[in-house]
Structure 1
Amino acid sequence: MGLGCNMGDCRANLRFALEGLAALPGYRPVALSSLYRTAPVGKTDQADFYNAVARGKYEGSPLELLAGLQALERARGRKRVERWGPRTLDLDLLSFGREILDLPGLEIPHPRLAERVFVLAPLLEIAPDYVLPRWGLTAGELLERMPAEEKACQEAKRIAWE
């Protein structure tokens, strides 16, 4: 799961998401990355984002997990008004085991995962050997293939959770 925030008390919002994830029926937390601060991508005239990646085991379907993530976003005041706009909480289902899905409203692995340092850096930290099904590469290999100028534009700074 990708976790992000750039509105309000982001550390509190992200902790809320982690507690909510742990409480989802059928979900068991496995690993959590460091917290990263990154400049916004897409719409750049907004506050920096706080990002992390959480890894877990889930007994239900990807669509059920997505519904749980969206309920957590709404509970923290997320309004889907503007694409790539500011948000109190952004929870993305990045991957689901070895599955590749293309459904209305859900594409797994996340289609832009391979282009985002703020996802790849924390993913590499907690799952260095995980081969992403759509690309057949690890997060580290995807980062190595990313053009240097793209990586420079998306610098991810590791920061403390507290």
Structure 2
Amino acid sequence: MARVHISIGSNIEREKSVRAALDALHGWFGELTLSPVYESEAVGFDGEPFLNLVVGVDTTLTVQELSLRFKQLEADNGRRRDVPKFSGRTLDLDILTYDDHVGQVDGVELPRGEILKNAFVLKPLADIAPDERHPVCGITYSGLWQSYNRDQKLWPIDFTWQNRLISRAF
């Protein structure tokens, strides 16, 4: 069994898209470890704010199998691939970590570089895996978040899934 952390983001039909992703992940993997849901400013382009969270799952699927499922789920939820990389999207799922694998695995960079660059990835990852260590730099995710010094704004929001509040604005 591999422990996998997955980032979810959306800035088009945000609540619907995030709930659809959580429903699919729950159907595939069962129990999910969920970070709070954060709203964040678009990074790299002018656009509507995003909803972001990180989900932890245990799976026997390979990186390639996960990647294919995630691409199909994105497409099923209206994700367009014929637009610039930095643009709005209904759904974006990225494999952040797969156990402690490092390097290119089935065409996926592990651990994903955005962990060290983007608050909307690092903060929710630190929320659910504070004591786990980044497999390259060896620092815990909580330590990385404590030393994060980029000017990216995000804030937790109230969010319900399956008729229960899974995230609360502080």
Q: Provide the C-alpha distance between the structure 1 equivalents of 2:44 and 2:91, rounded to a whole number of angstroms.
A: 17
Instruction: Give the residue type in structure 2 aligned to 1:154.
Output: Q
**2:142 corresponding residue in structure 1:** 140
SS of 2:159 mapped into structure 1: coil
Separation (CA, whole Å) in 2 of partners of 1:103 and 1:59: 15
| Segments of 4+ moved more than 3 angstroms | none
1:52: Cα distance to partner? 0.5
CA contact (8 A) 1:36 1:156 kept: yes
1:35 matched residue in structure 2 = 37
Where do residues 13-28 of structure 1 align in structure 2 (5 Å cutoff)?
Answer: 13-24=17-28, 27-28=29-30
Match of 1:61 in 2: 62
Instruction: Give structure 1 stretches of 5+ with no counterpart.
Output: none
CA drift of 1:37 comes to 0.3
CA distance, structure 2, for counterparts of residue 78 and residue 40 of structure 1? 17
User: How far off is 1:61 after superposition?
Assistant: 0.7
Shift of 1:103: 4.3
Give the Cα separation in 1 of the matches to 2:19 and 2:92. Answer: 12
C-alpha distance in structure 1 between counterparts of 2:155 and 2:10, whole Å: 15
Alpha-carbon distance, 1:137 to partner: 1.4
> Could you list the runs of 5+ residues in structure 2 that have no partner in the other structure?
1-5, 161-170
Spell out, residue by residue over 1:21-47, the C-alpha distance to the aligned partner (whole angstroms, 9 max, x if none): 1223xx34331011100001111x100
* Pick aligned residue for 1:11 from 2, 11, 15: 15
CA drift at 1:136: 1.1
Residue identity matched to 1:77: G
Contact 1:13 1:89 in 2 (8 A): yes
1:68-121 Cα deviation digits (max 9, x unpaired): 111110000101221121000010101001111314641011112111111111
Which segment drifts farther, 94-103 or 49-58?
94-103
> Which protein is richer in strand relative to its size?
2
Letter aligned with residue 118 of structure 1: F
TM-score in terms of structure 1 length? 0.89
TM-superposed deviation, 1:157: 0.2
Letter in 1 for 2:97: S
